[in-house]
Amino acid sequence: MTVPLPPLPPAPEEGYRPGGRSIADIVDEEHRQLLELVAQLTGPGATPREGVPVLTAALSRHLSAEEQYLLPAVRAALPAAADRVDRELDADASLLTLLAALTDDDLTEAAERVRRHVEGVGALVAELRGVASPEELIRLGNRLEIAEEAAPTRPHPGTPATPPWNRIVEPALGVVDKVRDVVTGRPTYLADLPEPPRD
């Protein structure tokens, strides 16, 4: 695979493996958590008011990080999947637009879009596993986790969705969003929920 990443540090021995988790494992876990969260928010006896800000923040971070590292890696490693990557980027923009004005009435539509996202990106991740080395997947996973922590917690559908600009703009927006979250006391992590989705 030819993903434009900095070279690995010199390995003291053959078979060196960087520390961290595979991007595929991270994305699969987050997809499971997002599906469980939308099921909680749309199921019987749901109290969406508590979970809507967390869903919005979790999806905003997740989509931002995928657009910065996962989807460019898929495009580089699987040129035949470029059209599918473009469709996912369009679907992400549409989902972010919905999230920007999300109400309880829109939750069913948001849940369906999350399910389609999980299905589409999940298929791309499965294909990436087949062509990337474990070391490349771990290095991408490390970058994804860093990008998620710096990512916006609110939807910004008008921002660039591809590198290099999204890697510059989104962390700056993330700082502003995080300040707003602290000032308003807005919950943004799954752990902030009374019953967070399991890992």
The confidence band for 99, taking pLDDT boundaries of 50, 70 and 90, is very high
Higher pLDDT, 16 or 188: 188
Residue 155 corresponds to which tokens in the numbers above?
């939807």
CA-CA distance, 53 to 161, in Å (whole number)? Answer: 22
Residue 52 corresponds to which tokens in the numbers above?
């809507």
Please name the residue that has the structure tokens 């990337």: 132
pLDDT of residue 3: 59
Taking all residues of the chain, what is their mean pLDDT, rounded to a whole number?
A: 90
The confidence band for 198, taking pLDDT boundaries of 50, 70 and 90, is confident
pLDDT of residue 15: 66
Residue 38 corresponds to which tokens in the numbers above?
């939308």
Side-chain half-sphere of 113: how many Cα atoms within 13 Å? 23
DSSP, collapsed to helix, strand or coil, labels residue 73 as helix
Residue 155's nearest CA partner among 96, 110, 67, 113 is: 96
The pTM of this model reads 0.90
